[in-house]
Amino acid sequence: MSATQSGRVFYRGGHAGPGVLGVLAGPVDNPDETESTIFYTVRGDEWSRQEFAFELSSLTHLAQPGSADAGWWLLGKRGEVVACNGEAPRIERISTGGTGTPEKKFGYLSQIRVIDGALFICGYRRQVYRRDGAEWRLLSDSILDRRAKGPWTGFTSIDGFARNDVYAVGDDGEIWHFDGAAWKQCESPTDQTLAEVRCVDGKVWICGDGGLVLCGDKNGWHVVWDKKEPSENWWSLERFMGRLHLAGNEFLGVLEDGQVSEVDVGLKDSVTTMALHARDGVLWAFGEEDILSWDGGSWREWVAPENR
């Protein structure tokens, strides 16, 4: 860990755990571009903070009482994995994830997610890891992009209904399905970069560049939306209260009855959005400058202590 400069912060993402919110942030004032991350946990109106001397790209919460792995898990793009489930954070490392040395040959890691009570990680060159016991097991050796020269393809997002029903998406419109034993590439209707996949309400939803939203499963996909207005790119999606919410370029929207409409949060003229997460009857929206929550009745803004 290392101290970061004081001053305002920008948000990198967030995730809601049981009764607690997790937020990743970085210092706005960072003239030497030193890699660092602030990890906030928020209970009620109380913000607690920890600092790490590397860039964390994703976080999740494993809610399994009695499990040694229960708690917060934070993912660093260069292969760092931080377990915050005790008095002090424990830092593990995925040796093949990241760049800079011959061993770190597969590139950056992008997302960590809980699927069916297990921790999964995806990343560049189609990396997929699952935590088995106390080890991170590479599941995607058979489909790794091993070309000698780039540009290489990779996974930006992973989700699933079960450990043997997992989807990973990413560059060039690639969609892959894992049945617990083998990977199969799905026929994709696009070559656009896909930003996020979500398996919710028995359906698989995918969003990405070009205003694209897909719905389907390993047997086929249909395009739900592919217009560059009102947002040229979609970064995240979430089902909440029966409606599909979308996070775009300074745009929070709802896709319903074949149309995308803007959500008026009633707090400011425009909001920044890049990640959505729903838990326990609350929808959370995270952007570089904004953290917002909606309980189905009213919106609330959350502000880190440094930004007040």
Average pLDDT, integer, range 85-105? 86
Contact 245, 207 (CB under 8 A): no
Can you give the pLDDT at residue 100? 76
pLDDT band per the 50, 70, 90 thresholds, residue 6:
low
Q: Can you give the pLDDT at residue 66? A: 73
State the pLDDT confidence band at 4, using cuts at 50, 70 and 90. very low
What residues have CB less than 8 Å from 194, skipping those under 6 apart?
A: 156, 157, 169, 170, 171, 173, 174, 175, 206, 207, 208, 209, 212, 214
pLDDT, position 3: 45
Residue 2 pLDDT:
43
Q: What is the pLDDT of residues 182-240, one digit of tens each?
A: 999 999 999 999 999 999 989 999 999 999 999 999 999 999 999 999 999 999 999 99
Whether residue 139 has pLDDT greater than 50: yes
The per-residue pLDDT for range 42-77, each reduced to its tens digit, is 999 999 999 999 999 999 999 987 778 899 999 999
- The full set of domain ranges for the chain reads 1-53+264-308
Q: Where is average pLDDT lowest: 61-65, 107-111, 116-120, 292-296? A: 61-65
